[in-house]
Amino acid sequence: MDEAGEDTSVLVKNACKKYSNNLVLHGVNIHVKEGTIYSLLGPSGCGKTTLLSVLVGRVKLDMGTIHMSVRDKEEIGYMPQALTLYQEFSIKEHMTFYGNLYSMDSALIKERTNLLLKLLDLPSRECVISKMSGGQQRRISLCIALLHNPRLLILDEPTVGLDIILCHNIWQYLFKISEDEKKTIIITTHYFEEARHSHTIGLMRYGRILAEDEPNHLMEVQNCETLEQVFLILCTEDELREKEIHDKELIKTKQTPHLNESGILNFTRIYAFMLKNLFWMKRNIPMMLFTLVLPIVQCTLISVTVGEDPAGLKVGVVNDEFLEENGICPSEPHISCTSNATMSCQYLRKLLGKSLQIVDYSNLDFAQQDLQKNNVWGVLYFNNNFTECLLKRLLLKVIPSDDVIYGSEIKVWLDSSNQVIREVLQKHITGALVEVTSDVLKKCSSSIRSTHTLISYQKPVYGVMDQSFRQFMTPANAVLFEFFLPLMFTVGAMLTEKTSGLLERCVIAGLSLMEIGVGHIILQMLILIIQTAFLMIVLFCIFDNPLSENLTFCLILLLCVGICGMFYGLFIAAICRSFTTASFLAIGSYFPLFMLSGVLWPVEGMHYILRYASRMLPITSSIESFRALSFGSRQPAHPIVYGAFISLSLWSTSLCVSTYLVVKHYGLKGQ
């Protein structure tokens, strides 16, 4: 501060800032003395808020210098123009959060809170912000700025919308602390009359300071009775000069930070951020319950609706072989090695055991008409000599004739409009025939050399013999849920604070980006662990999906997937400015990941170009790894398993670095 003088608190020289083609600050010079009140007056959009953002370190100048007597953010009290308050919090919770952020002990926080509440005529400390008026909320914002008794106060429109008596009390308090405690106060305001009581005022227009002096001296020089008249005269003169000002090219210069960095990690500030998160969770119990119950609901719905074979399908049957008793088979058909075996009835009995409904028809035309009307899903037809021909085909050692082959065939017509139902019917129809022929071969083994079919399926090396599609999808569903639930929660939580300016105010108060990330990760990990426990209980305990003894590695893999999803959520929150854009991006990411990651269909069935794209996605290898672990087909040392951990680590690291670079370059407002 040598060049600025010992009594100087803030000195700004030739400050210039340009956004796109708009020069917001154009050679601004201000000089604020220690222990004084400096008021910036000017219309909206003249650059007052931008100048304050520069002073608190949130905006960098393109050109110019700043000198300040304070070097640490903890010595600055900042009140933004917007109401940056947590609507669900009480006054006490706000003060506790910011007090801990400023490393104040609980006794001092309570003492300062009581003093400020009395000064600003505010209700009880337990009062919730959302139940307070706009004026009261504005005073709470001022309380936060005054809480830690800073050396430098920077207040953006602190008295907007307040009662005239309350404004008077606030100004009296500001005068008192500036004179008695040598506090320096910089205020922006629209009210010229209240600014007359400042030690110094700066009149600002179009990013330039038109005049800077004591209010009374300015009125005396301009021979005016009010500051409004002074401002009008200066604006008129500036309007004439502006025609002579040419838009010169702005030469950017390297800027030296005028405030010290807060440090990468401070556990007191992390504790404050965690405390704030706990307050939020306490005030949003329905939301937290929904977040924790959502995995249970999703896993339950997906398990009871997707993947099991359709049951109760109607199949029409025309059996010309058994016409007695109106063509109805006996309740317990017998098997023999003679033509009296009624093999068609035995076959239909097997078919009934597969949860199908048999509809008997006496005429094939009637059955096919019902098939066309969608009354049945298929029609089966048995010739009148079906059993005789089938036994000849199975038991005789000679090549069967064409008539025998034709007579032993089951004619099948299926509705193929639904591929899944068609394949289920084909499986049941074929499976029932295999069972019947196996029974015949065993019954009549004395007449043939072999009692075995040509293919004998042994116990599976991995998985189960009759694996359902639900069991195939379960590992993929677990990975998808684990990735997208943290993603959506992170996007919602971070964008809520970002769009309302809450995050910006926390950073101005000294909270570093690293501390915000660590605090959020700790909170998200607690929620993630609970969600993962619920997910595992529903999928693998209640619905009894296969899970090998590699339970520990399965849990670790799911947690790593959740962390990757959380970092992706942070990245989306960093690059988006609104919930609408973030929602489109998150939902738009879901469907490509869902289709390309092998959830519904193996990656090997995709177009060869998409296979390479699929391998690069963050959850494809995780799904394969989790399937391998849950079915016990691979050990943790196998490349399929540890490759997923490597992929997740690379994705999480790249997303974390990308988020940091975006925030560092564009700030907390995003692109």
Residue pLDDT, tens place only, 529-542: 998 999 888 888 88
Residue 449 confidence (pLDDT) = 43
**Gyration radius of the chain over CA positions:** 39
Joined together, the tokens standing for residue 115 give: 């003093």
Specify the 3-state DSSP secondary structure of 29. strand
Give 325's pLDDT tier (boundaries 50, 70, 90).
very low
Closest CA to 625 of 598, 593, 596, 652: 598
| The pLDDT of residue 334 is above 90 | no
Instruction: Provide DSSP, 607-658.
Output: -HHHHHHHHTSTTHHHHHHHHHHHTT-S-TTSHHHHHHHHHHHHHHHHHHHH
Q: What pLDDT does 363 receive?
A: 87
pLDDT of residue 567: 93
- Binned at pLDDT 50, 70 and 90, residue 445 comes out as low
Alpha carbon of 561 to those of 326, 478, 500, 643: distances in Å?
Answer: 62, 10, 29, 13
Contact indicator for 510, 100 with CB cutoff of 8 Å: no
CA dist., res. 372 & res. 357, Å (int): 18
How many whole angstroms separate alpha carbon 80 and alpha carbon 53? Answer: 9
Nearest CA among 273, 276, 279, 267 for reference residue 516:
273
Tell me, rounded to whole angstroms, the distance of Cα 445 from its chain centroid: 64
Of residues 368, 379, 320, the one with CA closest to residue 345: 320
Segment holding 76, helix H or strand E: strand 76-79
Find the length of the chain. 671
Q: Give me the pLDDT at residue 447, please.
A: 46
For residue 63, pLDDT over 50 is answered with yes
SS3 163: coil
* Residue 421, CA distances (Å) to 314, 356, 426, 465 in order: 11, 12, 9, 20
Quickly state the pLDDT bin for 565 (edges 50, 70, 90): very high
Residues facing 414 on adjacent strands:
378
Phi, psi of 28 (to 5 degrees): -75, 135
Tokens of 641: 């398993």
Q: Mean pLDDT highest for which of 46-60, 458-472, 623-637?
A: 46-60
Q: What is the pLDDT of residues 605-635, one digit of tens each?
A: 888 888 888 888 889 999 989 888 887 767 7
Mean pLDDT of 9-25: 87
* pLDDT computed for residue 2 by the predictor: 45
> Does the pTM of the predicted model rise above 0.95?
no
Which pLDDT does position 169 carry in this prediction? 84
How many C-beta atoms surround the C-beta of residue 458 within 10 A?
6
User: Residue 166 phi/psi, 5° resolution?
Assistant: -65, -40
Task: Encode 303-326: b = buried (16+ Cβ within 10 Å), e = exposed.
Answer: beeebebeeebebbbbbbbbeeee
Mean pLDDT of 342-370: 89
pLDDT band at 187 (very low <50, low <70, confident <90, very high): very high
DSSP letter for each residue of 439-481: HHHHHTGGGSS--S-S------SSS-TT--HHHHHHHHHHHHH
